[in-house]
Structure 1
Amino acid sequence: MNIAAFIDSLQEAVAESVITSTCQARFIRFRQQEHFLKFMELWSEQRQLPNEHVHIKPLSSIHSLACFLSDYTSLALFSPFITLETDNPVTIDANAVRSAAPSATTRSNEKAFSWGIKHVKAPQAWKKTIGQQIKIGVVDTGVDFNHPDLRHTLIHGVNLVYPLRPPVDDNGHGTHIAGIIAASNKYHGMTGVAPGALIAPVKAFDEFGSAFVSDIILAIEWCVQNRMDIINMSFGMKKRNKALLDAVTAAYQSGIIIVASSGNDGKRSTIDYPARYTQTIAVGATSKLRKVAPFSNRSNSIDIFAPGDKITSLWPQNSYHEMSGTSMATSHVSGAIALLLALYPNLSPSQIKTIVKRSIQPLKNYKTQRAIGELDITRMLQIARSSHK
């Protein structure tokens, strides 16, 4: 493959897309790793010259490039060496809307944590584990760095939307998720499932809660490179994407636990991607009555359910909001796994998934062909302890 000629053709195609309104987000995948590495070598040398390079995102974990293309006939000569795939749009849980007005920063001690935290029995575990030092990459809209309930929780993250800025939350969803997982302000604010865990905000979604698969892959790569223990994915899409599957698989094989939301469409036989991939832990949402929330997707692909209906958590500008969605359920599970990993750090992703699925409490009025139920942290820790004797 003539890499220099390919770069010239790619620049031509990307430049054309800049002035065309009909361009599409695409992956260019190299069939051979050596061609990708050679491209990266030459591309790095030329990077400061053409402005078009700012529109090309290398994805090293899958030996690919992401860019917008309107006409890729100039790349046809290289078809023996590359393939083209669609870079699909992704959204945070669309139905997870705010259902309460902001409340004051200071809360009474009776409201130190939401009903979901108590429901999954997190407080009973805190004498043994608070998820201390477990690193969780929250791939979302960023976080509110000034929220007092996250003061002892946040570590270095990354902004993939605006790379020169810190990953500040301009939407609210990411702050809400981070609070459920690991808020830590027992006496003057809220406490999350794993108040000793560390949150790395990975901003892949803009202020509208939108991203592309390529942004998610960059987020996954960052989490692998920075040695996260868990990746929380409170988002989804309807279409299967091979590039995303490959990136998820690479993270899974590196030992990272990936927890993903099933979606909020109320479907009874399917769930969103990436939750549908077997390398993730797929989470559905329940209500206070231990029933599947009406908005939650459900199918045999779901691994576990957790509280997701009317969950109070953090919100930007030092406030709190109540939200509903499988996003919130996913956060409870990520926090629970942090509690588990702090006690048993050598557990593999497959072992953790087995323990989580074995620890379920039955749901009310839920008919299925296989055992499925709701998160119970007490049972989860008991099963883990018995398996490590």
Structure 2
Amino acid sequence: MDASEIVEWLQDSPCSAHERGQRGILRFLNPGDYEKFLHELRTNRPRCESLKGVRQLGIIQAISCPSPDRGLPFSLNSKMQWEEDTPVRMHALSKGSLVTDKGIPWGVKHIQAPQAWSRTTGHGVKVGVIDTGVDFGHPDLRHSLGRGINLLHRLALPQDDNGHGTHISGTIAAANELQGMIGVAPRATIYPVKAFDYNGTAYVSDIILGIEWCIRNQMNVVNMSFGMKTRSKSLLNAVNNAYRSGVLIVASSGNDGSIGDIDYPARYNQTIAVGATTQQSRIATFTNRSGLIDIYAPGEHVVSAWLRGKHREMSGTSMATSHVTGAVALLLGLKPGLTPAQIKSIIKKSAKPLRNSKAPRMAGELNVMRMIKAADLL
């Protein structure tokens, strides 16, 4: 393969390095070709503005780049694959109201997390949260945070400018019993991976970079409270890579109220796909559901941490997913050697049957005490 031909093709890009615009992901089918291309890119990048917008996605031997005007040269079609770098959206409904509730939120109690704290609090478990960042000054999260990474501004802290990531992190591992709230796994450590901007917008390539960071930094479990309708081979490759590396991804099913269909990446077999329930243990009307859901968890009127040290009530499969991620952290605190496949099997097997659920093969609701009992039998 002639690496200079690809570099030449990329130089046709109309977008500057700083525009998000129309982007694509170019995957190399041969590792040797990828290495040759990177060498050529390094040589040419300093003197070409359009090449500054090219980002390496090493985990899948690919690059993300602005879309050039003309299609991939015919001679390169057998050597690489091009796909659109699709936007990804958060799985929370419109913001609820700020609240002054403190203590243990209903969802944390509902899944019976407090009953497990005498045996496990998630101590020593590393949780990657690919989201909008986190409020580093929040008193409920101060003792629960690792540095993480800001993929949008590499030198900055992954400080939350949206609120969603702080809410997710609070449910997973908040630890401020006296003045604030407690999450599912209060001694787990959250590593915020800021892939979404203040509008809650990210692209598939941002998520892939986030997954790559989580694998490299040996996260045990990764929370992904977002999704999209289109299937991405590049994202699937990254998810597979995490799964094979022993990093479990927990993903939300989406909030369109669809029956028989859920969003990606929850739809991939190598994730734990999460739907939302109400305080009455019924499936929330907004949740996407299908036979691909692995577990349901509290997702309606969930109170958690918010920006500037506050608390907010929110609903969505995003919120349900953070309960499951916290439960996985509790499980790994107790049994650190479990593989992603074992964890998924334990969570599905130990689920509590849902109310009014007539379908025999339907997923049940998360229950931490049942989960720990199932793990003890291993």
TM-score, normalized by the shorter chain, greater than 0.5: yes
Is 1:273 the counterpart of 2:271 in the alignment?
no
Preserved CA contact (<8 Å) 1:158 1:203: yes
**After TM superposition, what 4+ stretches of structure 1 lie above 6 angstroms from structure 2?**
none
Deviations 1:112-169 (A, max 9, x none): 1110000000000000100001001000000000001111111021111222321111
In 2: Cα distance, 1:233 partner to 1:38 partner: 33
Secondary structure of the residue that 2:170 maps to in structure 1? helix
Is 1:141 the counterpart of 2:132 in the alignment?
yes
Q: Which amino acid aligns with 2:96?
A: S
Preserved CA contact (<8 Å) 2:121 2:188: yes
**Superposition map of 1:190-339 within 5 A:** 190-339=181-330
In 2: Cα distance, 1:5 partner to 1:257 partner: 38
The alpha-carbon distance between structure 1 residues 84 and 202, as it changes in their structure 2 partners (threshold 3 A), is: same
Preserved CA contact (<8 Å) 1:135 1:229: yes
Is 1:99 the counterpart of 2:96 in the alignment?
yes
Q: Which amino acid aligns with 2:268?
A: Y
Preserved CA contact (<8 Å) 1:17 1:71: no
Percent of residue pairs bearing the same amino acid type? 49
**Number of the residue aligned with 2:331:** 340
Secondary structure of the residue that 2:327 maps to in structure 1? helix
Deviation at 1:369, TM superposition (A): 4.3
Is 1:4 the counterpart of 2:8 in the alignment?
no
Secondary structure of the residue that 2:377 maps to in structure 1? helix
Preserved CA contact (<8 Å) 2:20 2:66: no
Q: Which amino acid aligns with 2:87?
A: P
Among 57, 64, 67, the alignment partner of 2:65 is: 67
Preserved CA contact (<8 Å) 1:260 1:283: yes
Consecutive unaligned residues of structure 1, counting only runs of 5 or more, are none
TM-score by length of structure 1 reads 0.93
Secondary structure of the residue that 1:47 maps to in structure 2? helix
Deviation at 1:375, TM superposition (A): 0.4
Preserved CA contact (<8 Å) 1:24 1:70: no
Deviations 1:10-40 (A, max 9, x none): 22x22x2349x99632111112111101212
Preserved CA contact (<8 Å) 2:54 2:65: yes
Preserved CA contact (<8 Å) 1:10 1:74: no
Secondary structure of the residue that 2:98 maps to in structure 1? coil
**Superposition map of 1:35-74 within 5 A:** 35-73=33-71
In 2: Cα distance, 1:359 partner to 1:324 partner: 25
In 1: Cα distance, 2:36 partner to 2:316 partner: 44
Is 1:352 the counterpart of 2:338 in the alignment?
no
Among 142, 146, 153, the alignment partner of 1:162 is: 153
Deviations 1:350-369 (A, max 9, x none): 00000000111111112324
Secondary structure of the residue that 2:95 maps to in structure 1? coil
Deviates more, 1:38-47 or 1:290-299: 38-47
Q: Which amino acid aligns with 2:59?
A: S
**Number of the residue aligned with 2:80:** 82
Consecutive unaligned residues of structure 2, counting only runs of 5 or more, are none
In 2: Cα distance, 1:71 partner to 1:386 partner: 59
TM-score by length of structure 2 reads 0.96
Q: Which amino acid aligns with 1:251?
A: A
Among 107, 116, 139, the alignment partner of 2:107 is: 116
Preserved CA contact (<8 Å) 1:158 1:201: yes
Preserved CA contact (<8 Å) 1:285 1:305: yes
Secondary structure of the residue that 1:384 maps to in structure 2? helix
The alpha-carbon distance between structure 1 residues 151 and 289, as it changes in their structure 2 partners (threshold 3 A), is: same
Deviation at 1:332, TM superposition (A): 0.3
In 2: Cα distance, 1:4 partner to 1:276 partner: 38
Deviation at 1:81, TM superposition (A): 1.8
In 1: Cα distance, 2:359 partner to 2:35 partner: 48
